[in-house]
Amino acid sequence: MPAHNGDGPRPDALVRWLLTIAGQADRPALSEILHPRFTIIEPACLPWGGTHTGVDAYITLMTHIGEAFEIAFTHERIITEGHEAVLTCVVEFTRRTTGHLVAMPTVEMFTTTDDLLTTSQVYFADPTRILSALDQH
């Protein structure tokens, strides 16, 4: 469970906890940190791109990505200001069918409301490298 600052979980703690459980379809755990109307925006050029709203939509999104890639987060750094957090990291996408690894520098911006993550916007340095990995069978 995320660390608290006296008023509720700190935004950085919520983001760290999300990174820990992101690939799991653990609705009860995700419901503890994601607002029921949590909205994540992924780059539109990716097959799973677009706006996804709700805990179930987040689980569906991560399941869809997980069908193609094993995902790991490295070099995480979280900067917070009030109810906002910015995550910089490298997302390692390993293609399940080929083992091909794409290490993608990533920025993700989060907002919180009522001690829950409410929004996330994802920026990949070069999403075309992810698309190329998808084209490799």
Q: Domain locations in the chain?
A: 11-135
Q: How confident is the model at residue 73 (pLDDT cuts 50, 70, 90)?
A: very high
Per CATH, is 11-135 categorized as 3.30.920.30?
Answer: no
Residue from 21, 25, 20, 3 nearest 12 by CA = 3
Bigger pLDDT: 24 vs 79: 79
Locate 36 and state its tokens: 């029921």
Query: pLDDT band at residue 3, thresholds of 50, 70 and 90?
Result: very low
Q: What percentage of residues in the chain have a pLDDT greater than 70?
A: 93
Mean of all residue pLDDT scores within the chain: 92
pLDDT of residue 37: 97
- pLDDT tens per residue, range 79-95: 999 999 999 999 999 99
Segment 96-104 mean pLDDT: 96
CB 85 within 8 A of CB 11: yes
CB atoms within 10 A of CB 112: 22
pLDDT at residue 2 is higher than 90: no
pLDDT of residue 137: 56
Evaluate if residue 65 carries a pLDDT over 80: yes
Mean pLDDT throughout 55-79?
Answer: 95
C-beta separation of 120 from 39 below 8 A: yes
pTM above 0.75, yes or no: yes
